[in-house]
Chain A
Amino acid sequence: MKNIFKIFLAFGFLVFVSACDSLDLDEQAINPNSVTPENAEINLVMNNAMIELGDFIDEASDETMPYVRMVALTGGARYDNQDGPSSFDFIWDLAYSQIMPDCNLIIELADANGGFSRHAGVAKIIKAYTMLTLVDLFGDIPYSEAFLGTDQLNPSADAGSNVYEAAIGLLEKAINDLENPTGTITSDIFYGGSDAKWIKAANSLKLKAYLNTGNTTQINTLIGADNLISAEGDDFQFQYGSNRSTPDSRHPYYADGYESGGAGWYLSNQYMWYLFGEKFTEDPRLRYYFYRQDCDETDENFFTLDCTALPYPTHFPPGLPWCTASGDYGDPAGAYGGYWGRDHGNDDGIPPDGLKRTVWGVYPAGGKYDDASCAGMSNGGSDGDGGAGIQPMILSSYVDFMRAEAALTLGTADDPAAMLESGVRKSIAKVMGFTSQAGADAPSMDDIEDYVTEVNNKYNAADADGKLNLVMKEYLIALQGNGLEGYNGYRRTCKPDNLQPLRLDDPSPFARSFWYPSNYVNRNSNASQKADVTVPVFWDTKAPGCAK
């Protein structure tokens, strides 16, 4: 009897002791792996919002560049299948569930605690820029019902014009915050804490928005106030680093062409031809924009470059590039050959040309300056500037081009010729100042003057339509790395007008907005997909068929 008692007492004790701590279920509901949102630190959230903005504009550029021939359109042979709805999930996710909630949190923390108006101002600029961009890409988008979590699982879309209005309102509030600055942003990777520059950026974003909507009065007000991005030091851009991994902080174009396995992007024959072949004078930016891995495409065959065996398409207007940008001008000696991209809408499979096709150069990707060394760049990220490039957002040259355009199309108070020349000069100066690598064949001051003179002469010789065409072409050239403003400009003006048609002789209408993302259409019961990609955004009032 005694033994029974002993044994059960012993085990009873064990149960009691071991069960004790698991009986406290509340204690165990606490997640040991993380902290709660109340612990957020405003400067650390600011860091995230700034990094995300870089990712966002990069992604917006990636999606838009193929349409305006800044890179080759290779995802499909037509505009409506280049990108399916799911292609835009990433940017939607980034904008709505990362950048803007982080901006909202910053604004909330600033409002709640006081003394952080700098943070609030910058967060409002980032948020407004995101909103404007989303409208530019998609049209009507959720805003007034957004960011409510489970309280509104299916936010309805607001009219694009209303979102634009709200964004401009935010920019004005941001300027107000920054004019009365409090607090210090510990790591302002854009402007190093300069309120004046942030205000210029906000004004320049307003300029861009008003140019899209064609608001002459407001643009004249902005010109009059003279507080726009006007010098290289004001440039609104995201500066990448050169850290290769953990984390990869390099320009994404760099990782694409300079790691291993060959290039991923196909650059655009059209765009390279604008710099290389269209003008009498070679563009001084040519060697900075593009690096040729193989300067002689004349020894290729059907497998590596199948278009060499194909005739110039009959539906192409004469005088456009075909097959490669240097095709008709190729110099087997190597100095001028090898501008090897793809034609518009060439969705063929991928031949083993990864070490042959032209890759991104030093601007803006932080790659290698083209010194005609003509070598494969898949060397584990060891070439050039190591990816320490920029994502241009609004540069001083862009502001000049926009003002030139506005003067021509809206009659605003600027001299378009002066603005054009100023834009070209600022762009060339920025690009050429971009690297210490420039060596062989770097353009001289004379080369720059020759180029500017050719542009000026062409401008002076052109009729009104030709003048706008030239402004938009020079703007497009200056935009390297920023497809978003190229896509906006092309939809505003349908210029430049000598862009390569789709390779396929197919009357596929131009995409004047993108498919709504699948993570929006599929998960939101108040969202419905647009009929097709020809649906324009609210400010795009051009006739169908204008943009091609």
Chain B
Amino acid sequence: MKKFSLVLLLFFCALGTMLAQRTITGTISDDKGEALIGASVVVKGAEGVGTTSDIDGSYSLEVPAGSDVLIFSYTGYGTKEETLGASNVVNVALVEGSVLGEVVVTGFGIKKQKKALGYAVTTIDSKEIELKPEADITRVLRGKVAGVEINSTSGLAGSGTNVIIRGYSSISGSNQPLFVVDGVPFNSDTNTDRGALAGSSSASSRFLDLDPNNISEVNVLKGLSATVLYGEAGRNGVILITTKNGADMEMDKKFEVTVNQSFHANQIASLPEDQDLYGNGFHNNQSVAFSNWGAPFDVGVHRGAFQRMFDRGQNNYDISTSPGTINHPYDDNLEEYAGARYDYKAYDNLQNFFQTGLISNTSINVANRMSEGTTLNFNYGYRSEEGFVPLSNFNKHTFGLGINTKLSNGIKIRSTFNYVNSERVAPPVSTSTSSNPNDGASLFSNVFYTPRSVDLNGLEWEDPSDNSTIFYRGSVRQIQHPIWTLNNTSDKEKLARFFGTISLSYDLTDWLSVNYRYGLDGYNQRQRFAVNKLGGQIADGVLETSERINFINDHNVNLQFNRNLTDDINIDGVVGFNERDDTRNSTFANSSEQFVFGLQTHNNFVNHTNSTYDQRESLLGAYASISFGYKSYLYFNLSGRNDWTSTLEKENRSVFYPSASLSFVPTDAFPEMTSSGIIDYLKIRVGYGTSAGYPQPYDTRSILGINTREFVTSGGSVLNTNTVAQQFGNINLKPELHTELEFGVDAKFWNNRIALDLSLYNKQSSDLIIPLSLDPSTGYTSTTINAAEISNKGVEIGINVTPIRRKDFSVTLNGNFTKNKNEVVALSPGLSEFPILELFSTLGSWAIPGQPYGAIKAETIKRDPAGNPIVSGAGTYILDSETGVVGDPNPNFATNGGLSVNYKGFSLSALITYVDGGDIYATTPSTLLARGILQETDFDRFTTVIAPGVKEDGTPNDIQITTTQHYWSNGGVFIDEMRVYDGSFVKLREVSLGFTVPKKFLENTPFGSAAISFSAQNIWFKALGFPAGANFDPEVLSTGVGNARGFEMMNVPASKQWGGSIKFTF
């Protein structure tokens, strides 16, 4: 309180004044007299007052009195300052290719000149974000920022997204970046009630609660020297989002309403191409197997053999008719089909199983400058999204309000209030390895491998007598009919969220201000997973509900200063204190054994278990940052922060992490460099940053295992138990440490037609906390220790080329390139490797010294010393007794190329992605191959195969086996190694065509502007390492948002969207 009093005292020293204003108009052109569209005009010294030029290059701006300088700027052109005279008309001509004075948002929302920064910041403005079909802001950013890897978990409406900046570095902690919305931390958790095997991939990531149409700007801070002020939460990079409510209002009208409306079609992107020659069965014989290695639809030369088998009753495939027939699948089960025959032919299944969903998005923004110094922005968005899976959907309402005002006494108050309400319905999506779900329920575990001769959409899915599922394998419910799944299983989520900020600031002097900001982010997320009884997957039915109430309270108070010490030397900086408090309170209720079919209430189930989990984590941080600028071409920054956490014991709780950066602009220091006309701008920067990472709460102390109702004896006594917990609490746990050295060059050439942005970084992470799986013979199965060291080294290149730049016609090509080389450098002594995520004890994502993060370990084929696979006497491969590394899930590099063409009011843009490498353990394509579904299996199956390899005695294999056996036993269903594919792919990520109606057509209408656009996402892709018939989109993550990657386990496939939108203002 003492310090506060001092701060408050300073306020007595200053007073603000308010005066009248005037309107300045004019045009902005280039040096050839051509109008510049979208050039910016701001009032010097009046924060937030400015506008942009329209299609004719003209502008109109209300300038507060007392301000007399306007700053004109345009990308690729020199900035010009004009001092106002008596005239209210100011026309300017900007010269192409002069040095830029771009301003970007940095830590804590402090705006800085880009050239003063010693680290990389990427800015994406609202034009690249709004009107897209995706509801998820991060998916909109995909491919647009070098160094940022964004992976959707699935194509399900509202499913989660994994965002990784500059590689994975933590093992037990989150590698997801910090989201900061309007200056305060924003919870971006992906909450799931189910584990990685049981379908966590459908869980939504909480940045889904942001409306992309309400975003004014996104800044991505990638390196530690940029994020140090954010504390340990910023160690994975920071995504700074400024909403339209939180933005400084730039408008040339007092009152403006913007309406966006879009409609997009939502479709499944990867439908496999099936073979049409063979049907259900095994060894070329028709049967009700799970697989599709059955008899051919056209038996051809094998006619005699099939006829004889049919006659002997060894086969029920009657070939005497065309198409041939088999016993109706429900022959034994439904009376109406007794004795019925069924056409044995290829049915069109998947094409008709999925639907085209409609996505409708409406957004209204109202901006109003109420009076001098007070602005108000309000928006409302409504999104309604149908998935491509029938009955799945996502609906979201967002409300937002932003008010900025400056009180007559000079205190500036800025506030934002946002409320989000959404609902989601998803199908069950447990992972699966070859048929039924690994854990729980899944639609996708069963639908894709439906045999070709089974009419998925035509066969009844429910036994009318008892509502049980019925499918082609008769009354034993070994495969649940996928339509039964759709109608009797659901995963629902309801969310209500409030987030907002209030900030106060006051200029103590013209170079010193005091600021306080409070942020509140709270939400209530309710999930409800319900399965009716009488299915095959969860036969008795379940109802699982959960409720999570999560809050972040964030206080931040600081002093900011900016002062010229001499004509040449400027210092600016901040000193402050931050306190962040995260609480998470969850309640889970789980009921099993449904009583009355169909009723999904907890009281309609026989057994109940419930639990609660409460967690609180507090973080205190003190920080300071100071920058020295010399002659506006040399800048040096020093920053540091000390954090104290509640998640570690006292001795290890406090950690200090400093950073330093330097920026040098030779083209400003030596202006003669630019005289050749080749180079216009050059900046060289180097930065060093550090950060920490804290464990989850409560890892440092062992607990007692408690189970009530562990066992009920035959006499009916209930036994409760105490047990030694299998987790060993490590009281000596320390924070993780990260350090990063970054070097970069920004340059512009040939009249700013080529811009290059290069970053090199080397990030070393040590003392990484791992949830160490112990050999149970230690008495425990897990503990947490500081054990690993990981390095990420990478290159990020952004390039922008404008070959044509005329008034009405411009062509811009931009590209980015990301390469991150990740290596597990060392583990603590005695540890040779450990799992990042163990899906099964034979399959997982591992950290192994010398290998990249997340190396995939799985069962492998036993090989001789020369590497030849060894076959058994049965002619099939023998598995090695130990698992081995079968893949590196990290891509070699990723590159994106964008094209943007503007002609008069038309604009065309496209974004193509190529990702090289990155192995994927994928069960969908391998299962479809092993089960004889994919078009790759349409060969003559009556031949035999000799599996390549050697026999156990070392001689070449000469054992002939059937094609069925080869694909089945030697394929991926039994041999994990055979399921690993190279994940390289090329993708047309985004295409859009827009048209902005010229102002002159709108003159006599109430509209200020109008635009229409057509856009499509993910409409074409090719995964180069996969069987072509799988038509596989590798951008899915079955293990959900987290630290494991490279696993696709009968996941919900990716989606594609296409449609159009209109936007108008009045």
Contacts and interface: CB of A to CB of B under 8 A. Distances in A.
B504 interface: yes
Given A5-B8, A16-B1, A142 B723 contact: no
Given A150-B728, A302-B314, A241 B711 contact: yes
A77 B476 contact: no
Contacts of B478: 261-262, 350, 352, 354
B476 A35 contact: no
Interface stretch (A88-96, A270-278, A408-416): A88-96
A26 B697 CA distance: 12
Contact of A245 (B518, B607, B702): B607
A310 to B, nearest CB: 11
A102 B723 contact: yes
A392 to B, nearest CB: 15
A112 interface: no
A81 B841 contact: no
B840 A86 contact: yes
B644 to A, nearest CB: 6
**Most chain-B CB neighbours within 10 Å: which of A4, A77, A97?**
A97
A419 B722 CA distance: 42
Contacts of B650: 25-26
Nearest to A532: B881
B773 A7 contact: no
A101 B779 contact: yes
Interface stretch (B91-99, B425-433, B609-617, B670-678): B609-617
Interface in B821-841: 830-834, 840-841
Interface in B578-636: 579, 581, 592-593, 606-609, 612-618, 620
Nearest to B723: A48
A149 B773 CA distance: 11
Contacts of A333: none
A23 B448 CA distance: 54
Contacts of B304: none
B721 A14 contact: no
B88 interface: no
A153 B714 contact: no
A260 interface: yes
Contacts of A12: 1, 4, 8
Contacts of A520: 775-777
A480 B701 CA distance: 45
A529 interface: yes
A302 B315 contact: yes
A113 interface: no
Contacts of A104: 724, 779
Nearest to A101: B724
Given A40-B704, A519-B775, A523-B774, A15 B713 contact: no
Contacts of A242: 714
A1 interface: yes
Contact of A44 (B504, B609, B721, B841): B721
Nearest to B785: A150
A444 interface: no
A51 B710 contact: yes
**Most chain-B CB neighbours within 10 Å: which of A153, A301, A380, A505?**
A153
B865 to A, nearest CB: 16
A51 to B, nearest CB: 5
B314 A11 contact: no
Contacts of B709: 246-247
A309 interface: yes
B645 interface: yes
A527 interface: yes
A102 B723 CA distance: 6
A124 to B, nearest CB: 16
B649 A29 contact: yes
A457 interface: no
Contacts of A265: none
Contacts of A388: 714
Contacts of B704: 34-40
Interface string B287-327: 11111000000000000000001000111100000000000
B581 A22 contact: yes
A45 interface: yes
Contacts of A330: none
A187 B11 contact: no
B706 A34 contact: yes
Contacts of B518: 11, 14-15
Interface in B307-358: 309, 313-316
B712 A23 contact: no
B841 A89 contact: yes
Given A33-B614, A520-B777, A25 B706 contact: no
B555 A85 contact: no
Interface string B988-1007: 00000000000000000000
Contacts of A314: none
Contacts of A543: none
A523 B720 CA distance: 32
Contacts of B612: 33
Nearest to A303: B287
A31 B703 contact: yes
B476 A261 contact: yes
B730 A150 contact: yes
Interface stretch (B183-191, B192-200, B872-880, B888-896): B872-880
Contact of B773 (A95, A96, A505, A519): A519
Contacts of A280: none
B775 A154 contact: yes
A52 to B, nearest CB: 8
Nearest to A240: B714
A80 to B, nearest CB: 8
B876 to A, nearest CB: 9
A391 B720 CA distance: 21
A525 B831 CA distance: 7
Interface string B677-719: 0000000000000000000011011111111011111111101
Given A12-B8, A33-B613, A96-B779, A47 B698 contact: no
Interface string B359-400: 000000000000000000000000000000000000000000
A1 B409 contact: yes
A355 B830 CA distance: 51
Interface in A232-281: 239-247, 249, 259-262
Contacts of A95: 776
A84 interface: yes
Given A36-B702, A302-B287, A352-B478, A146 B879 contact: no
Given A25-B646, A44-B722, A96-B777, A243 B712 contact: yes
B593 to A, nearest CB: 6
Contacts of A33: 612-615, 698
B726 A31 contact: no
A504 B874 contact: yes
Interface string B550-568: 0001010100000000000
A189 interface: yes
Given A93-B776, A519-B841, A524-B777, A45 B555 contact: no
A352 B700 CA distance: 51
Interface of A: 1, 3-5, 7-9, 11-12, 14-16, 18-19, 22-23, 25-26, 28-29, 31-41, 44-45, 47-48, 51, 77-78, 80-81, 84-86, 89, 92-93, 95-98, 100-102, 104-105, 141-142, 146-150, 152-155, 187, 189, 239-247, 249, 259-262, 301-303, 309, 349-352, 354-355, 378, 380, 388, 504-506, 515, 518-525, 527, 529, 532
Given A48-B722, A86-B841, A259-B539, 13 more contacts: A14-B518, A18-B555, A32-B615, A36-B702, A96-B776, A98-B726, A152-B778, A187-B717, A241-B712, A241-B715, A245-B606, A351-B287, A354-B476
16 contacts: A7-B504, A25-B645, A26-B646, A34-B706, A36-B703, A36-B704, A38-B704, A48-B707, A187-B713, A262-B478, A303-B289, A349-B289, A505-B873, A523-B774, A523-B834, A529-B881
Closest 3 CB pairs of A and B: A246-B607, A147-B779, A243-B712
